[in-house]
Amino acid sequence: MAKVAPVASVERRGNGTLIAVGAMLLLFGIAPLVGFYPVFLMKALCFALFACAFNLLIGFGGLLSFGHAMFLGTAGYVCAHAAKEWGWPPEAAIVLGTGASTMLGVVAGALAVRLAGGGPTARRFLDRRALLNAMAGIAATGGSTNGILHLLAIAREAGVPLTLDELAGVGAATPVVASLAPSGRFTAEDLHRVGGTAVLIRELVRGGHVEGSAPTVEGTTLAEATSGAAAPDGEVLFSVDEPFKPTGALHALRGNLAPDGSLLKLAAGRRFQQGPARVFDSEEACADAVRAGVARPGDVLVVRYEGPAGGPGMREMLSVTSSVVGAGLGESVALVTDGRFSGATRGLMVGHVAPEAARGGPLAVVRDGDTITIDVDAKRLTLELGEDELARRLAAWQPPQPSDAGGVFARYRALVGSASEGAVLRA
């Protein structure tokens, strides 16, 4: 069983990240106002970069960004929902380069440094309630399957019991109330224009999808902090009573091909496909085959050895999914992989399959021509193979020789856990 860092360790790492982010916010928030760019700037920059690098190296990570995408892919939901559901909701997503963003940088930097110097730590906010709130926010805005992966990782590090099925259940049950790209018409700038994340939280609290009693860093609750927010405008943001879409797009599938689970984001279109497998042992091999015209309508493309250990690193299958859509097969070809996808992926694309192929999961023994069934409504991912034959293949399977037998990648490969548990490093 994977071990998680003790609470004190999580708090120390969280404080280091706050110091790093605070220093950067102060640096790029205050310095431009006063025209102060001497030695102080370079020292602050070096300190901030060192602190973030240190946090990343010890495994907890720090997010340093000059902004995120205007659509709700991975970066967009991480920046917005981490801020709004874990303690500072009113302006979690704001347009970069405006006077408001500069002043927010000043305020955020000062708050981060104050908290790091003795205020409440991240552990106070990172409880089960906060993580489920964050999942509801991700689902309500049409966010990515990566949201579940990251929340599972945070839960493991913080010692919070939370499963893939619980998060996916929230993701499927929460109505989508924001019409944001790629599945909607508008961007994050439009969301800010109509009141921002405060309006979103207030509506989710009103509908019972977010627990409003969760605390914020300012000492109020989420419900109190957003009580003065405007009502949804009905174009960018909708009410929970008349949502943009009645249910979320995030689903968890299990079956003999994914005993520990898999994930897909399905905004619309097919919810069932059964077809022959075309098997590839890397993203590049699959993308090349699709571009060469090998894939046919009805096929189920299998891309394996791209999971946390197999990749290593669990890459996003961007070249494969774009090649499938570019070939005009987005509505007729399905994809199953132990890798992951971008939040902008379209079609019947199942990722995060666990156990992954590199760890001897059933995906490792799929052969060309085997029949695979994807049934979203039944929440099943099935290799149509008898139990005895599947067991025989698994018993005969041998792991492929990795290209990196030593060094950092080899150590990562040996220590990383399953995607179904957040792909965290195991002690």
Supply the residues annotated as catalytic.
342
Which of 85, 177, 72, 70 lies closest to 125, judged by CA? 85
Instruction: Tell me the Ramachandran region of residue 425: left when phi exceeds 0, alpha when psi lies from -120 to 50, beta otherwise.
Output: beta
DSSP line for 164-228: HHHHHHHHHHSPB-B-BTTTSSB-HHHHHHTTHHHHHHHHHHHTTSS-TT-B-TTSSBHHHHTTT
CB 298 within 8 A of CB 311: no
Rounded CA-CA distance 142/28 in Å is: 31
SS3 call for 277? strand
Q: How many CB atoms lie within 10 A of CB 396?
A: 8
The one-character DSSP state at 354 is E
Please, what is the angle between helix 128-140 and helix 74-85, to 10°? 140
Classify residue 2 by its DSSP letter. Answer: -
Q: What are phi and psi of 22, to 5 degrees?
A: -60, -45
Q: How far apart are CA 8 and CA 284, in angstroms?
A: 42
Q: Determine how β-strand 349-354 pairs with β-strand 334-337.
A: parallel
Classify residue 156 by its DSSP letter. H
Sign of CA dihedral 117, 118, 120, 123: positive
